[in-house]
Amino acid sequence: MRVLGIESSCDETGVALYDSDRGLLAQALYSQIDLHAAYGGVVPELASRDHVRKLLPLIRRTLAESGLNPADLDGVAYTAGPGLVGALMVGAATGRALAWALGVPAIAVHHMEGHLLAPLMEADPPEPPFVALLVSGGHTQLMWVKALGQYQLLGETLDDAAGEAFDKTAKLMGLPYPGGPQLAAAALKGRSGVFRFSRPMVNRPDLDFSFSGLKTQVLLAWQASTRTQQDMADIALAFEQAVVDTLAIKCERALERTGCRRLVVAGGVGANRYLREQLQERTARRGARVYFPRPDLCTDNGAMIAYAGCLRLQAGQSEPPVVTCAPRWDLAGLPPLSPALG
């Protein structure tokens, strides 16, 4: 089955072609970073308009690169939520209309299911059941994945998402949008131990997170410092260590609670090098294993939507000929993809 995937939930237009026999055939991504940088964050109306401009050329390019014609498609998948409603509508309307015109089924994909399933596109993929840590700009969740499509929330952030905390912290030290990768780059020159920030909520037995207080700690440290490049690097490193340590402690706890030895990490913050190193080390120490997608499949992309859509179409699911999207959407409410194990 050959599925075209469309991602347009936020500030990236992503398109990809996934073939259930041959894997990923082609993908294209357009980032709106330059468009939003002047405003220090994503401007929803500008995002929607830019998706309108870029989506059809990207679809044509992806088809050309894979050597396929529109008539070769067996289905179209598009992100239907969560995300910015105007941006989502561009992908949903285009994807649904294309499927209608071609007479093939369309499938509305949950953006976070796309992230969660992305590691399964890699060689030697994890078998469910597994624990999944979803860390993006809008979400920080620990999920128990009993079977594909069966998601049980173990814990989540009570305020800022991990990526949001990275972005806001970077911004208050004057780093440009998007702050996560910039702050991680600054941290490479930081000296360990010069600053130390707390690990929020690790003394509570639950698997929830809270990252909003960390940015206040950073603000106070930054204001009290001489605000040199070295101060920024030292603070960035201490912040990164605090976030990564907190995520890792709760991941280990989730593995303990579920008795599972497989951890899957997905979403933009999953591209963070220090997080990857720490989770590799800590899971290996306890005889468990962590699975990440390659870094460019951690951040938003069309491939994960094509893949998740392909699995759901193969399971016989599809949408009626109506364009809808869901800016807020609960992952745990999705229909199963396969019978639950055990």
- Contacting residues toward Zn ion, per CB under 5 A: 136, 300
Question: Residue 271 interacts with ligand KG4 (CB under 6 A)?
Answer: yes
Q: Which of 184, 235, 263, 264 binds ligand KG4 (CB under 6 A)?
A: 184
Cis peptide before 129 (omega within 30 of 0): yes
Question: Residue 244 interacts with ligand KG4 (CB under 6 A)?
Answer: no
Q: How far is residue 276 from each of residues 249, 279, 290, measured CA to CA in Å?
A: 14, 5, 9
Phi, psi values for residue 50, rounded to 5°: -70, -35
Site string for ligand KG4, 122-151 (x = CB under 6 A): --------------xxx-------------
Amino acid at 212: S
**217 or 299, CB closer to ligand KG4?**
299
Q: Which of 50, 113, 160, 167 binds ligand KG4 (CB under 6 A)?
A: 167
Q: How many helices (H) and strands (E) does the chain have?
A: 11, 10
Q: Which of 131, 145, 269, 304 binds ligand KG4 (CB under 6 A)?
A: 269
Interatomic CA distance for residues 263 and 280, integer angstroms: 10
Site string for ligand KG4, 278-307 (x = CB under 6 A): ---------------------xx-------
Phi, psi values for residue 224, rounded to 5°: -80, -15
Q: Which of 116, 120, 106, 150 is nearest to 6 (CA)?
A: 106
Interatomic CA distance for residues 298 and 276, integer angstroms: 11
Interatomic CA distance for residues 209 and 257, integer angstroms: 16
Question: Residue 179 interacts with ligand KG4 (CB under 6 A)?
Answer: yes
**7 or 231, CB closer to ligand KG4?**
7
| Nearest distance from C-beta of residue 268 to Zn ion, angstroms | 6
> In this structure, what token pair is assigned to residue 342?
């055990």
The entry of Zn ion, ligand KG4, none that residue 92 binds, CB within 5 to 8 Å by partner kind: none
| Nearest distance from C-beta of residue 214 to ligand KG4, angstroms | 13
Number of residues that bind ligand KG4 (CB under 6 A): 21
The entry of ligand KG4, Zn ion, none that residue 126 binds, CB within 5 to 8 Å by partner kind: none
Helices assigned H by DSSP within the chain: 33-37, 44-66, 85-102, 111-117, 162-172, 179-187, 212-224, 229-258, 273-285, 295-298, 303-314
| Nearest distance from C-beta of residue 326 to Zn ion, angstroms | 15
Binding residues (CB under 6 A) for ligand KG4: these are 10, 115, 136-138, 163-164, 166-167, 178-181, 184, 267-269, 271-272, 299-300
